[in-house]
């Protein structure tokens, strides 16, 4: 066990398929193992690389300069060539990425390198595995990648930290990377051959951030569905809007699926007598919006999972065919598109939550409850501030939903003359997912407050269970901002 003495919380075995959910496990110490076949493939590919170099074959990044300088020779010594690469890529700017993203990126990199197509040394993979078994996380600046030739700058900073240079985290504490390595019981990473290029020349930060965004948004979809049902229950709405015949006629499977989940939440619902025949769209059309969200997330899951389990590097080596292939398996367009779709999806779910909150605080539409759900209007102001903050969050999400995946700007001496900006798309999707949690937390707080000021108790088993869990954690003597964050945490697990 490493010096920081944290227990391993999960074990992942390559070549099992890496899932977005597994990326979340990497936030804590995780054991990663390679089966014998994978280890042999890595060693065989590494030997093939050095055989080709001994034969005088031209190999990008090993015998040449990088990017548009490919027509020039690189450093003669392999270790110097690794330093040659990392020195010019250590250029990131901005705040550090969350350590959970940095560690997920290391896990994603292990998965692509372990497929035995990169020529990387087994020692490098073992070093990454050892790192993941501790709480060490490299400090990676947010900006610097255009998502082509992989996440060059972010991963260069990650490699520097693994070498004991730059900054790193041990748990939540930021410190000098060398100190973090020592305290974690790790030794500085040594590189040779094309180890450095294999570590940076792929979309691991992009796919890691997108995968973490996907898992968070999947939870948020469940939360949005549960909150919609709870709202309909508390207000006493009719449940006609989720009858199966509507969705059989519509023909969208995911929408029918979300309607079925809503029906399950409302299985023992008792409608009130005061609600109109038809509810506003924030309730009546919620199954359609949430169903469309499910479709988008299903597509994103396929794309991100494929990316996590593919080989993201260049060139690729195929020893069994005596082939070194130079191509573009670092161009993260698929994940870029999927991440932008996730950002848009998150924003529309946020729109729904904010509009449901607005309906809930309006006496003209909430069944006559006090305005802004105040207990004594004027002497207190209920959730008035909560809605103001929610409006601010929605506005931010709308601005952030502008797609990154088609913002290509030629760069790198026109070597990278079209780029996907997948890293920015994925990091934005991750940010959007975290903001959406706060919108749902805000709506949950308002639903608890509605019951406290006179709305009926939930009539459904599922609604009562959720309302009780929220009510127990949201005492009236804590600040509203804290209540929102607590509610968001409860929703992550309660639904």
Q: What is the pLDDT of residues 442-454, one digit of tens each?
A: 999 999 999 999 9
What is d(CA 61, CA 67) in angstroms, rounded to the nearest whole number?
A: 9
Asked if 124 and 106 count as a contact pair (C-beta separation under 8 A), the reply is no
Residue pLDDT, tens place only, 56-90: 999 999 999 999 999 999 999 999 999 999 999 99
State mean pLDDT over 366-382. Answer: 95
Render pLDDT for 423-444 as a digit per residue (tens, 0 to 9).
999 999 999 999 999 999 999 9
Mean pLDDT for the stretch of residues 372-396: 97
Instruction: Using DSSP bridges, classify how beta strands 167-170 and 141-143 pair: parallel, antiparallel or unpaired.
Output: unpaired
DSSP 392-442: HHHHHHHHHTS-STT----BTTTTB-S---HHHHHHHHHHHHHHHHHHHHH
**Which among 18, 22, 42, 60 is annotated as catalytic?**
60
180 and 266 belong to one structural domain: no
189 and 288 both lie in a single domain? no
User: Is the preceding omega at residue 83 within 30 degrees of 0, hence cis?
Assistant: no
Q: Is residue 426 part of a domain?
A: yes
Residue 124 shares a structural domain with residue 237: no
Region class of 119: left (phi > 0), else alpha (psi between -120 and 50), else beta: left
Q: At what angle do helices 461-473 and 422-452 cross, to 10 degrees?
A: 90
Q: Provide mean pLDDT across the span 311-319.
A: 97
- What is the pLDDT averaged over residues 100-114? 98
| Packing angle, helices 333-361 and 384-400, rounded to 10 | 160
Task: Specify the pLDDT at position 3.
Answer: 63
Which of 184, 202, 220 is the endpoint of a domain? 202
DSSP E strands in 113-227: the ranges are 136-138, 141-143, 167-170, 173-176
Residues 6 or more apart in contact with residue 20 via CB below 8 angstroms: 211, 212, 214, 215, 301, 304, 305, 308
Q: Check pLDDT > 50 for residue 1.
A: no
Q: What is the mean pLDDT of residues 103-119?
A: 98
Number of residues that make up the chain = 495
Q: Name the nearest CA neighbour of 432 among 297, 299, 317, 322.
A: 297
CATH number of the domain where residue 132 is located: 1.10.275.10
Describe the crossing of helices 480-494 and 204-235 by its angle, rounded to 10 degrees. 100
* Same domain membership, residue 364 and residue 328: yes
Please count the helices (runs of H) and the strands (runs of E) in the chain: 18, 9
Domain termination site, one of 172, 202, 232: 202
CA angle, residues 255, 258, 263, in degrees to nearest 5:
125
185 pLDDT more than 60: yes
8 Å CB contact between 104 and 211: yes
Q: How is residue 456 annotated by DSSP?
A: P
233 and 138 assigned to the same domain: no
Q: Determine the Cα–Cα distance for residues 88 and 26; give it in Å rounded to an integer.
A: 29
- Residue 137's φ and ψ, nearest 5 degrees, are -140, 130
Rounded mean pLDDT, 26-49: 97
Same domain, 89 and 167: yes
Q: What is the DSSP letter of 201?
A: S
Question: Pairing state of beta strands 173-176 and 167-170?
Answer: antiparallel
DSSP state of 377: B
Average pLDDT, the chain: 96
Asked if residue 273 has pLDDT above 80, the reply is no
- pLDDT value for 2: 54
Mark whether 152 and 251 lie in a shared domain. Answer: no
What's the total number of domains in the chain? Answer: 2
- The single-letter DSSP state of residue 18 is P
Q: What's the confidence (pLDDT) of residue 123?
A: 97
Helix axes 122-132, 152-162, angle to 10 degrees: 80
Q: Is 197 found in the same domain as 82? A: yes
- Domain identity same for 173 and 228: no
* Secondary-structure percent of the chain, ordered helix, strand, coil, rounded to 5: 60, 10, 35
Let me know: does 134 contact 184? Beta carbons within 8 Å.
Answer: yes
Verify that 217 and 153 share a domain, yes or no: no
What backbone torsions phi and psi does residue 11 show, to the nearest 5 degrees? -125, 130
pLDDT digits (tens, 9 = 90+) for 403-430: 999 999 999 988 888 999 999 999 999 9
Task: Check pLDDT > 90 for residue 495.
Answer: no
DSSP annotation of 240 reads G
DSSP state of 277: S
Residue 52 has pLDDT above 50, yes or no: yes
Residue 265 lies in a domain: yes
Question: How confident is the model over 359-367, as a mean pLDDT?
Answer: 95
Report the alpha-carbon distance of residue 356 to residue 359 in Å, rounded.
5
73 in a structural domain: yes
Question: Considering 202, 219, 238, which residue would you say is the last residue of a domain?
Answer: 202
DSSP at 170: E
pLDDT confidence of 148, banded at 50, 70, 90?
confident
Q: Which helix (H) or strand (E) holds 347?
A: helix 333-361
CA nearest neighbour of 357 among 271, 431, 276, 447: 447
> Is 281 a known active-site residue?
no
Alpha carbons within 13 angstroms on the beta-carbon side of residue 160 total 24
Range of the domain at 434: 210-494
Beta bridge partners of 317: 324
pLDDT band at 5 (very low <50, low <70, confident <90, very high): low
Do residue 226 and residue 194 come from a single domain? no
Whether residues 241 and 355 fall in one domain: yes
Mean pLDDT of 186-212: 97
Q: CATH no. for residue 478?
A: 1.20.200.10
Read off the pLDDT of each residue in 279-301 and give the average, rounded to a whole number.
97
| Number of neighbouring beta carbons within 10 Å of residue 267 | 12
Q: Has residue 79 been placed in a domain?
A: yes
E strand residue ranges, 135-283: 136-138, 141-143, 167-170, 173-176
Is 7 or 139 the better-scoring residue by pLDDT? Answer: 139
Coil, strand or helix: which one is 458? Answer: coil
- Within-domain flag for 3: no
Residue 4 lies in a domain: no
Is residue 208 within 8 A of residue 99, CB to CB? The reply is no
Q: Do 262 and 219 form a contact (C-beta atoms < 8 A)?
A: no
């Amino acid at each position: 066990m490493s010096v920081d003495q944290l227990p391993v919380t999960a074990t992942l075995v390559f070549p099992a398929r890496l899932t977005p959910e597994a990326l979340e496990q990497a936030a804590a110490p995780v054991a990663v193992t390679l089966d014998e076949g994978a280890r042999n493939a890595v060693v065989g590919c590494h030997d093939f690389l050095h055989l080709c170099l001994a034969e005088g074959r031209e190999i990008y990044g090993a015998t040449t300069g990088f990017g548009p300088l490919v027509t020039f020779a690189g450093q003669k010594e392999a270790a110097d060539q690794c330093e040659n690469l990392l020195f010019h890529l250590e250029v990131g700017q901005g705040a550090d990425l969350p350590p959970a993203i940095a560690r997920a990126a290391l896990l994603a990199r292990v998965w692509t390198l372990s497929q035995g197509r990169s020529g990387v040394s087994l020692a490098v993979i073992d070093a990454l595995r050892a790192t993941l078994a501790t709480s060490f996380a490299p400090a990676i600046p947010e900006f610097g990648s255009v998502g082509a030739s992989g996440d060059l700058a972010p991963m260069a900073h990650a490699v520097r930290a693994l070498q004991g240079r730059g900054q790193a985290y041990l748990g939540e504490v930021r410190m000098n990377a060398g100190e973090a390595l020592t305290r974690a019981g790790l030794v500085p990473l040594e590189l040779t051959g094309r180890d450095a290029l294999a570590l940076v020349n792929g979309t691991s930060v992009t796919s890691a951030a997108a995968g973490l965004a996907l898992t968070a948004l999947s939870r948020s979809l469940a939360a949005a569905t549960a909150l919609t049902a709870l709202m309909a229950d508390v207000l006493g709405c009719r449940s006609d809007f989720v009858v199966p015949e509507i969705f059989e006629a519509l023909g969208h499977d995911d929408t029918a699926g979300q309607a079925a989940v809503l029906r399950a939440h409302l299985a023992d619902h008792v409608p009130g007598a005061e609600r109109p025949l038809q509810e506003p769209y924030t309730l009546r059309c919620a199954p359609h919006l949430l169903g469309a969200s499910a479709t988008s997330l299903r597509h994103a899951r396929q794309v991100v999972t494929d990316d996590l389990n593919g080989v993201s590097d260049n060139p690729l080596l195929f020893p069994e065919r005596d082939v070194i292939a130079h191509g573009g398996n670092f161009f993260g367009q698929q994940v870029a598109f999927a991440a932008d779709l996730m950002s848009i999806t998150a924003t529309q779910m946020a729109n729904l939550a904010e509009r449901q909150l607005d309906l809930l605080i309006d006496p003209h539409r909430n069944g006559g409850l006090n305005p802004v759900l105040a207990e004594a209007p004027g002497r207190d102001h209920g959730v008035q501030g909560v809605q103001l903050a929610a409006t601010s969050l929605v506005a931010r999400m709308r601005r952030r939903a502008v797609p990154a995946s088609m913002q290509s700007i030629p760069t790198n001496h026109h070597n990278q003359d079209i780029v996907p900006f997948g890293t920015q798309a994925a990091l934005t999707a991750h940010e959007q997912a975290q903001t959406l949690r706060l919108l749902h937390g805000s709506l949950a707080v308002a639903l608890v407050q509605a019951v406290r000021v006179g709305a009926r108790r939930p009539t459904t088993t599922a609604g009562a269970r959720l309302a009780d869990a929220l009510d127990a954690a949201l005492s009236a003597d804590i600040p509203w901002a804290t209540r929102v964050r607590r509610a968001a945490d409860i929703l992550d697990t309660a639904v």
